[in-house]
Structure 1
Amino acid sequence: MKVGLTLGKYAPLHKGHESVISLALEEMDFVIVMIYACPETTSIPLSIRANWIRDLFPRVEVIEAPDGPTEVGNSEGIKKLNEDYILERVGNRGITHFYSSEFYGEHVSKALGATNRIVDPNRIVVPISATTIRRNPFEYRRYLSNRVYKDMIQKVVLLGAPSTGKTTLAKALAQELSTQWMPEFGREYWEKNQVGRRLSPDQLVEIAEGHIEREDSLLQNSNRYLIVDTNALTTFLFALYYHGSAHSCLEELAAKTKDRYHHTFVCNNDIPYDDTWCRSGEVNRRQFQEATFRELDKRGISYKTLSPSPEERIASVLRELSSRSAPENA
């Protein structure tokens, strides 16, 4: 039985990596892919990167290596460190071929007693590297599958009561970051479907689902970030306001907001109230704002509150994004 092994950080998994795995699947009876944790290189968690491989290549066995060495080099010490770890994890799996595009293919294959299967070492077939992609994923997204690219986009959601400046800020941030923004689908839906200034529980579910569907459709052409004006948590609060309770499907979608968004900002309600026909007054704005903070705290969602100054709001968001995205820019 021919058993192939390949490994890497896959930060991110690109078409070059995919070609190595695909070739191994063509030539081997069984393929193992080992993926390392590398927080010093990328902020994308190991589990997400591992699931890229599982989803795109369901026939391979994926081994997550959270404690694997990440030192790269040609010194005897580094080579032995990596060889010892690989042998410990898969040395008894009968590896017959080791697949890579790197210099370490030779010494790892020798340690495994396997054939050194080098694939496109000069990057001629797929002229890209993960390092290059990390510098500008948007420019090189053609080398990434849609499945991978969407997970590289950080979703930035803006919350707050009606008339707290979310839409204005979303537009400004998208312009600053040269990316896209997702308008509040609920407002569009409400204006078309409201009866007596109310929506039914089922209609509120449609809003939350429609908003998520539109978000996802924007990811492939977003640049590092997608700015989102409200989310299912806002729709959930409207359900409580209208009906005193929420549909179970909406409850579930609201719960998922904790993990769906990478950054949550709340626009303060200390700006002048814009009393349009579709809003319910300044008292309601204050109550809705308080409810927003309660829900975020109850659900354990980390957030940053933004000042009333438009300029300071933009600067504050940009500072936060920069500080939390450092590994991606390494």
Structure 2
Amino acid sequence: MKKLGLTLGKFAPFHKGHQYMIETALQEVDELIVVIYETQVMPVPLHIRAGWIRKLYPTVRVIEAWDGPDGYSDDREHEIREEQYILGLLQEGEQVTHFYSSEFYGEHMSRALGAVDRRVDEARKQVPVSATMIRSNPYQYRKFVSDLVYRDLITKVVFLGAMSTGKSTLTEALARKYKTAFASEYGRDYWAEHQVDRRIGLEAFDEIAVGHIEREERALLEADRYLFVDTNAITTYMYALDYHGRAPELLTRLALENAQRYDLVFLCEDDIPYDDTWDRSGEQKRSVFHKQIIADLLARRIPYIPLKGSLEERIRKVDEVLAGFTSYRNYYGEMIRC
């Protein structure tokens, strides 16, 4: 007889205790079904939480329970609703032989399914963590969360702007204030090392875009709540147009994808004194590039928040926005209603 395992949960977030249970099940059954519920306990959408499991365990059959019962309870009416719901998800003639959990509901669910009640690490001795603990402080419990999951728990904040508009200074100042990581502008470092007569080749812009994203990904895994990023692939794309009148294919694609990469986009205005260093093109060029960045953001339909004034004024504005922001919520819609 085929051994078919099933487990369920909110997986909000998915952590190494869940992984231990799934890996135990995969050693014991021929096939495993994971049912994942919609929930309000954290804002990460259901399909993203389901995606974590699919990517980490591609052989598992993941079922997104968008209309599943809300929460867990030992109330018998709730138990019956949950049992009927889970039974309704199974394919015709399908028989679950093992029900996996580390919670009290393992008893009634396994009984309803006619399956072995397989409790895994119920006392949390193998993996001493819970989703509640991680939600309270993801950074503190970082070791209990895979890199794939952790990166989606960080609010990614990018600062755009023309040359000499204070992006680097602001990014580093905010990282210090919030005691977190930041990603500096990879393109500036690359240009300083590879430029010849203040020029770089077209193919170099692909390398810059990829290198910058790699730098971000490394910093993400060290970040606490926020990652502050100095420029992105869209800026690199615009520099390629400025240098060569066109952009390479990979960079163009990465710039398009960047529209969804960040939670918040800030635009540093050109209202501060211009710092005329050897690697910059002049104040007039800054003014033109600033206008081009705004036009590009509007064309891409990317909402942005302008930052003006002194460093302290800009930091206060960022603080204000962050205080009212939650990832995966309709932040701009909330602003309009207010």
TMscore range, shorter length: over 0.9
The equivalent residue for 1:162 is: 163
Match status 1:283 vs 2:284: yes
Aligned length: 327
* Partner residue, 1:70: 70
Is this contact kept in 1: 2:263–2:327, CA < 8 A?
no
Contact 2:269 2:307 in 1 (8 A): yes
Task: State the partner residue of 2:20.
Answer: 19
How far 1:205 moved relative to its partner? 1.2
Query: What's the counterpart of residue 83 of structure 1?
Result: 83
Structure 1: which amino acid aligns with 2:268?
Answer: C
Distance 1:37 1:147 in 2: 20
Assess, with a 3 A threshold, how the Cα gap between structure 1 residues 117 and 327 changes in structure 2: closer, same or farther.
Answer: farther
Q: Distance in 1 between matches of 2:121 and 2:91?
A: 25
- Between the aligned partners of 2:154 and 2:5, the Cα distance in structure 1 is 32
Find the aligned partners of 2:323 and 2:41 in 1 and give their Cα distance.
Answer: 15
Q: Is residue 53 of structure 2 the alignment partner of residue 53 of structure 1?
A: yes
Is the 1:42–1:327 contact (alpha carbons within 8 Å) kept by the matching residues of 2? no
**CA-atom RMSD in angstroms:** 1.8
User: In structure 1, what is the equivalent of residue 205 of structure 2?
Assistant: 204
Identity of matched residues, %: 50
Deviations 1:10-55 (A, max 9, x none): 11111110111111111111101111222x2222222222122112
Distance 2:45 2:197 in 1: 46
Q: Tell me if the contact between 1:97 and 1:115 (Cα under 8 Å) persists in the aligned partners.
A: yes
Mapped to 1, the partners of 2:192 and 2:46 lie a distance apart of 43
**Mapped contact 2:44–2:328 kept (Cα < 8 A):** no
Q: Cα 1:91–1:110, aligned 2, differ >3 Å: closer, same or farther?
A: farther
Q: Distance in 2 between matches of 1:88 and 1:240?
A: 55
Contact 1:15 1:144 (8 Å CA) reproduced: yes
Contact preservation (8 Å) 1:154, 1:225: yes
> Aligned with 2:182: secondary structure?
strand
Secondary structure in 2 matching 1:221: coil
Give the equivalent residue in structure 2 for 1:234: 235
Q: Which runs of 5+ in 1 are unaligned?
A: none
Residue 30 of structure 1 corresponds to 31
Aligned to 2:333: none
Superposed CA offset, 1:148-187 (max 9, x none)? 2222222211101111111111011101211111111111
Distance across 2 between alignment mates of 1:91 and 1:190: 58
Change (3 A) 1:233 1:66: same
Letter in 2 for 1:259: Q
Quickly say closer, same or farther: Cα 1:222–1:106, change in 2 above 3 A. same
2:192 is equivalent to residue 191 of structure 1: yes
**In structure 2, how many angstroms separate the alpha carbons of the residues matched to 1:321 and 1:79?**
40
CA offset digits 1:228-250 (Å, max 9, x no partner)? 10011000010111111111111
Contact 1:41 1:327 in 2 (8 A): no
Alpha-carbon distance between aligned partners in 2 of 1:322 and 1:80, rounded to the nearest angstrom: 41
Normalising by structure 2, we get a TM-score of: 0.92
- Corresponding position of 1:129: 130
Q: 2:155–2:327: 8 Å Cα contact kept in structure 1?
A: no
Letter of the 2:34 partner, please give it.
V
CA 67–295 in structure 1, closer or farther in 2 if over 3 Å, else same: farther
Structure 2: how far apart are the matches of 1:321 and 1:114? Answer: 47
Residue 67 of structure 1 aligns to a residue whose secondary structure is coil
Please give the per-residue CA displacement for 1:89-138, whole angstroms capped at 9, x wherever unaligned: 22743211111111111112222222211112121221110010111111
Which position in structure 2 is the counterpart of 1:43? Answer: 43
- Determine the C-alpha separation between the residues in 2 that align with 1:66 and 1:82: 13
Contact 1:169–1:310 (CA under 8 A) maintained in structure 2: yes
d(CA) in 2 for partners of 1:125 and 1:185? 41
Q: Distance in 2 between matches of 1:70 and 1:176?
A: 39
